[in-house]
Structures are given as structure tokens and as C-alpha cells.
């Protein structure tokens, strides 16, 4: 196998797939990149067995071939090279590979491409074309709330529900829940399809995809995302997702409307004085004023801020994990947000207030019991 390619192009392609390369694996073969040259198209593939990522680029090909090269050494070498052209010349018998830049040579020992795991044939049940930026925004607004508890495997992924006229994404860790409903990305599926996607695969999509449109394909076991030259295939989480609708309160009758930047900034500052373990902040609502307080009895630190708001219900105090509040508010794109409360021990809802962009965003937060 032999080809010549601009260093910049190869570095970008390797960087794109590097997140799919396992740092350490019980299968050493997975710590390699599969290179396949056919004519002028070079394919690079990495996998950890659950997620496989492939990207292609155009090169000046001289001899077709395929082999495995050690991923980290290859990535680090190409990343460190000065701009210019690189010629890769691999002996298909010995798998010894020469990288030649004109001013230097680098030799690597490769492996037979046949040792790399082969993907099973992919027969999609649904195929949907989506705007990349909008889908990526959906991913960002949900994946942060996934559970990390391996004993609750369904909740470690993001639930996507494809309906004829809408797409829903849901994530929860039992302490918070996010539901996004998009009415503009209409998948036009014949049947309802639900899939649970690992967050790592979605993070790769969010990081690597930049074209205007992307394609999503799914069947009973896998999902595949394609964006121009890059494809990400992930094994679905084969579990039943909890009935999330049953935990969303329908009768929260106390509403506070407040500027998003005001409450987010206040929570960030005041929470610096919260206990490092509980991260608890206290919200006191009375009239059109919100007081946000935090105290750490272990260090003697305390802080409060008063923030104007629109609230006309009875006085109320409620506590939240400040990190969960920040993460929720960070992902709401609106000038104002609405908090819908019930009691200090019942779930509260946060949502954008005012005009939507074709998406319904709902964040549920479980309160924390306040210290006396």
C-alpha cells in the first residue's frame, strides 16, 4: 500500500476518529487504526467494539492495500509533523510501514488487516435525514443528564423516540430528567421507533459532524450516523426505558418567571459557598423577589443574592443541587425561563419562557431536603 497526502488532511482525519480509539483494551488489536486504500480514497477506521468510527479522505494512491497501524503512535506522529506532504509506503508481507516527509523518515510495525473486527451487515429499519446543527443541539440538551449507574443500564443512554411528526430525546439519572420534543425534524416514519443510544456515540457525533445535513439509520441492535465522509456506528442499549412521562408532574401551580442569565449567574456565584458534598442552594420566593442562599457549616462560608423575578404565589423555600441547576440552565436557549413548583419536596420543572424555536424543552429537577 502506498499513497501521498497533505499532512494537514491526514492529521484532521486521524483527529476525527481518535476519540473512538480505546486507551487500553483487553483486545490489543483495538489499539490500532485500520487503513484501507482503494484508488484515491483512504479509509480510516477505529473501534472499541461498541462504537465504530470511519472517515475517508482523498489521497494520491499508488498501490491499494489494507493494514493496521498502532493508533497512538500514528496519531501523535502525524500531529507533530510540519505542514507539507507525507508519503506512506507499507510492505503488505512484513507490514513494515515507512512514513516519508522528504525531510525525515518514520518506521512503524503494522498488523494484518484481517485481525481487525469486522462489522456485521447493517440493515436499517429507519433512515432519516436531519439538520446536523439542530440534532447536535438536541444531543447537547439531553446527554448531560444520563446516569452513570451501571446497575440502571437503560438510564445510561439517551432515549430517542421517532414519531411520524416529531422526534423526542429523553435522559434521566433519577435526580433530574430532560425531555426535548422537536416538531420540525419530522422523520416521517411509518411506525413508532424507540432506541437508546450510548452518550459516548452522541458526543462523537456532536464533536465530529459539521456538515449541514446528516443521516441517521437504526435497526433493532445498532444506530448509524453519517455526515459526508464520516460514519459512526454504535451498539444500542438493549433495555426497556422507564416510563418517564409518569414522573413529570402535571399540577405544579406555582410559577416563577426570571431572566435566565440573572439566575444562572447568581447560582454560579452563590454556589461557591455551598457545601462541596451537597452543593445545596436555597431558593426563597416572596413577592417579585428571589433570594438565593448557600452555606457551608464546615468552613463557615455563606453567601446570598437577591434576584428580581415575576412570582405572585405564596411564599416558598426550596433547595436544589446547584450543579444540576447550572447544567440545566446552561442548556436552555431563552432570555427568560419559567420554574413551575408544587411543594418543597416535589419535583420542579424548568422550561424556556416565551417563543420557542420549534422545540419543547423541559427540565425536571428533584429538590433536596433543606437543612433547618
Tens of pLDDT, residue by residue over 30-65, are: 999 999 999 999 999 999 999 999 999 999 999 999
Give residue for cell 456506528: 233
Query: What is the pairing mode between strands 301-308 and 289-296?
Result: antiparallel
Report the pLDDT value the prediction gives residue 372, as an integer from 0 to 100.
61
Q: Which of 241, 240, 204, 242 is nearest to 223 (CA)?
A: 204
pLDDT for 88-110, tens place per residue? 999 999 999 999 999 999 999 99
Please answer whether residues 85 and 69 qualify as being in contact, where contact means their C-beta atoms are separated by less than 8 angstroms: no
Query: Where do the domains of the chain lie, and which CATH numbers do they carry?
Result: 2-115 (3.10.150.10), 126-245 (3.10.150.10), 249-365 (3.10.150.10)
Q: Please give the Cα distance from 154 to 259 (Å, whole number).
A: 35
- The pLDDT score that the predictor gives to residue 117 is 94
Residue 83 CB neighbour total at 10 angstroms: 9
Closest CA to 321 of 258, 260, 363, 262: 363
127: left (phi over 0), alpha (psi -120 to 50) or beta: beta
Q: What is the pLDDT of residues 72-85, one digit of tens each?
A: 999 999 999 999 99
Instruction: For residue 350, list its beta bridge partners.
Output: 339, 363
Tell me how far apart the terminal alpha carbons of the chain are, to the nearest angstrom. Answer: 72
10 Å Cβ neighbour count for 237?
18
Report the length, in residues, of the chain: 372
Q: At a CB cut-off of 8 Å and minimum separation 6, what does 372 contact?
A: none
User: Which residues on neighbouring strands pair with residue 281, listed in sequence order?
Assistant: 320
Q: What is the pLDDT of residues 167-224, one digit of tens each?
A: 999 999 999 999 999 998 888 888 899 999 999 999 999 888 887 899 999 999 999 9
Contacts of 339 (CB under 8 A, 6+ apart): 255, 256, 257, 258, 348, 349, 350
Using 50, 70 and 90 to split pLDDT, how confident is the model at 371? Answer: confident
Whole-structure pTM value: 0.92
**238 has a pLDDT exceeding 80:** yes
Mean pLDDT of 310-333: 96
User: Which run of H or E residues covers position 14?
Assistant: helix 7-18
User: Above 90 in pLDDT, residue 345?
Assistant: yes
Percent of the chain at pLDDT above 90? 88
Cell triple for 92: 503488505
Q: Cα–Cα distance between 269 and 2 in angstroms, integer?
A: 57
- Convert 4-16 to b/e letters by CB count within 10 Å (16 or more is b): ebbbebbbebbeb
Amino acid at each position: 500500500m502506498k499513497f501521498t497526502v497533505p499532512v494537514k488532511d491526514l492529521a484532521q482525519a486521524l483527529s476525527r476518529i481518535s476519540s473512538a480509539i480505546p486507551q487500553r483494551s483487553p483486545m490489543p488489536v483495538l489499539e490500532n487504526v485500520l487503513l484501507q486504500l482503494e484508488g484515491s480514497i483512504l479509509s480510516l477506521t477505529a473501534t472499541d467494539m461498541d462504537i465504530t468510527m470511519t472517515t475517508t479522505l482523498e489521497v494520491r494512491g499508488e498501490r491499494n492495500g489494507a493494514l493496521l497501524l498502532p493508533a497512538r503512535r500514528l496519531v501523535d506522529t502525524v500531529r507533530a509533523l510540519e505542514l507539507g506532504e507525507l508519503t506512506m509506503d507499507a510492505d503488505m508481507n512484513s507490514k513494515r510501514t515507512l512514513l516519508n516527509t522528504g525531510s525525515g523518515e518514520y518506521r512503524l510495525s503494522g498488523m494484518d488487516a484481517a485481525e481487525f473486527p469486522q462489522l456485521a451487515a447493517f440493515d436499517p429499519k429507519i433512515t432519516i435525514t436531519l439538520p446536523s446543527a439542530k440534532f447536535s443541539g438536541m444531543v447537547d440538551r439531553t446527554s448531560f443528564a444520563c446516569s452513570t449507574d451501571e446497575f440502571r443500564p437503560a438510564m445510561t443512554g439517551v432515549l430517542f423516540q421517532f414519531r411520524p411528526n416529531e422526534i423526542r430525546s429523553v435522559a434521566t439519572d433519577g435526580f433530574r430528567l430532560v425531555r426535548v420534543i422537536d416538531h420540525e425534524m419530522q422523520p416521517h416514519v411509518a411506525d413508532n421507533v424507540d432506541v437508546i443510544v450510548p452518550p459516548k456515540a452522541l458526543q462523537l457525533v456532536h464533536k465530529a459532524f459539521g456538515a449541514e445535513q446528516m443521516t441517521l439509520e437504526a435497526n433493532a441492535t445498532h444506530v448509524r450516523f453519517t455526515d459526508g465522509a464520516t460514519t459512526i456506528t454504535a451498539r444500542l442499549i438493549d433495555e426497556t426505558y422507564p416510563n418517564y412521562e409518569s414522573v413529570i408532574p402535571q399540577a405544579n401551580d406555582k410559577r416563577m418567571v426570571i431572566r435566565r442569565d440573572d439566575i444562572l449567574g447568581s447560582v454560579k456565584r452563590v454556589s461557591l459557598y455551598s457545601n462541596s458534598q451537597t452543593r445545596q442552594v436555597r431558593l426563597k420566593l416572596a413577592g417579585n423577589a428571589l433570594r438565593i442562599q448557600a452555606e457551608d457549616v464546615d468552613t463557615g462560608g455563606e453567601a446570598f443574592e437577591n434576584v428580581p423575578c415575576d412570582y405572585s404565589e405564596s411564599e416558598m423555600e426550596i433547595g436544589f443541587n446547584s450543579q444540576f441547576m447550572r447544567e440545566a440552565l446552561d442548556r436552555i436557549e431563552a432570555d427568560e425561563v419559567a420554574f413551575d413548583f408544587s411543594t418543597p419536596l416535589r419535583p420542579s420543572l424548568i422550561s424556556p419562557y416565551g417563543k420557542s424555536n420549534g422545540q419543547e424543552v423541559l427540565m425536571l429537577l428533584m429538590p433536596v431536603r433543606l437543612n433547618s
